[in-house]
A and B are shown apart, each in its own frame.
Chain A
Amino acid sequence: MAISSASKPSVLTPKLAELPREGKFGEFGGQFVPEILMPALQALEKDYLTIKTQARFQNELKSLRADYCGRPTPLYFAKRLSEHAEGVQIYLKREDLLHGGSHSVNNALGQALLARELQRRRVICATGSGEHGLSTAMVCALLGLQAEIYMGATDMERQKTNVEQMKLLRARVHVVTRGSQTFKDATNEALRDWVTHVKDTYYLIGSSVGPHPYPMIVRDFQRVIGDEIKGQLLRRGQRLPDLLVAAVGQGGSAIGTFFPFGQDEKVRFLGVEAAEAASLTQGTVGVLHGAKTYLLQDEHGQLQPTRSLAAELDYAAVGPEHAFYKKSGRAEYIAVSSDEALEGFRLLAELEGILPALEAAHAIYAGVQRAKKLKRDQIIVITLSGRGEKDLKVIYDRQQLSGQAI
Chain B
Amino acid sequence: MIVSNYLAKRFEELKQRSEAALIAYLMAGDPDLSRTLEYARALEAGGADVLELGAPFSDPIADGPVLEEAAQRALRQGVHLQDVLHIVRELRKSSTMPIVLLSYYNPILRLGEESFARRCSEANIDGVIIPDLPMEEAASWVNQARKYGLARVFYATPETDNERVRKICECSSGFLYLVSRYGTTGAREALAETAIPLLERVRPLLPSDLQLAVGFGISTRPQIESVVRAGADGVIVASAVVARIAEGITPEALSAYARDLKEATKRSRPNLSNR
Which A residues fall within an 8 A CB radius of B?
Answer: 22, 30-40, 178-179, 184, 188, 191-192, 195-199, 285-290, 295, 297, 299-303
Contacts and interface: CB of A to CB of B under 8 A. Distances in A.
A47 B168 CA distance: 24
A199 B182 contact: yes
A192 B106 contact: no
A197 B158 CA distance: 12
A31 B136 contact: yes
A217 B175 CA distance: 36
Contact of A286 (B61, B62, B68, B110): B110
Nearest to B61: A191
A177 B221 CA distance: 34
A290 B57 CA distance: 15
B109 to A, nearest CB: 6
Main secondary structure of the interface of A (DSSP, over half): mixed
Interface stretch (B7-15, B149-157, B231-239): B149-157
A34 B107 contact: no
A179, A184, A195 — most chain B CB neighbours (10 Å): A195
B32 interface: no
A39 B106 contact: no
B107 to A, nearest CB: 4
Interface residues of B, number: 41
A195 B159 CA distance: 10
Interface string B178-195: 010011100000000000
A286 B106 contact: yes
Given A34-B132, A184-B59, 5 more contacts: A33-B134, A35-B159, A35-B179, A39-B160, A199-B182
B59 A196 contact: no
A289 B60 CA distance: 10
A290 B104 CA distance: 11
24 contacts: A33-B132, A33-B134, A34-B155, A35-B134, A35-B157, A36-B160, A38-B134, A38-B159, A39-B160, A179-B58, A179-B72, A188-B59, A188-B60, A192-B183, A196-B182, A285-B109, A286-B109, A300-B81, A300-B110, A301-B109, A301-B110, A301-B111, A302-B57, A303-B59
A205 to B, nearest CB: 13
B133 A198 contact: no
Given A38-B136, A192-B184, A303-B58, A32 B159 contact: no
A290 B60 CA distance: 12
Contact of B105 (A37, A287, A300): A287
Nearest to B159: A39
A35 B274 CA distance: 28
Interface in B205-259: none
A178 B134 CA distance: 26
A195 B136 CA distance: 18
Nearest to A40: B159
Contacts of B106: 286-288, 295, 297, 301, 303
Contact of B134 (A31, A184, A286, A288): A31
Nearest to B161: A39
Nearest to A304: B58
A188 B159 contact: no
Nearest to B63: A192
B57, B61, B105, B107 — most chain A CB neighbours (10 Å): B61
B68 A34 contact: no
B233 to A, nearest CB: 19
B80 A300 contact: yes
A36 B161 CA distance: 11
Contacts of B134: 31-35, 38
Contacts of A195: 61-62, 182-184
A34 B58 CA distance: 16
Given A191-B61, A197-B182, A286-B110, A35 B156 contact: yes
B59 A301 contact: no
Interface string B130-171: 011110110000000000000000111111110010001000
Contacts of B65: 178
B217 to A, nearest CB: 12
Interface in B46-63: 57-62
Contacts of A188: 59-61
A301 B155 contact: no
Contacts of B58: 179, 302-303
A174 to B, nearest CB: 14
A198 B68 contact: no
Nearest to B80: A300
A44 B215 CA distance: 27
Nearest to B110: A301
B64 interface: yes
Contacts of A300: 80-82, 107, 110
Contacts of B168: 35
A303 B72 CA distance: 12
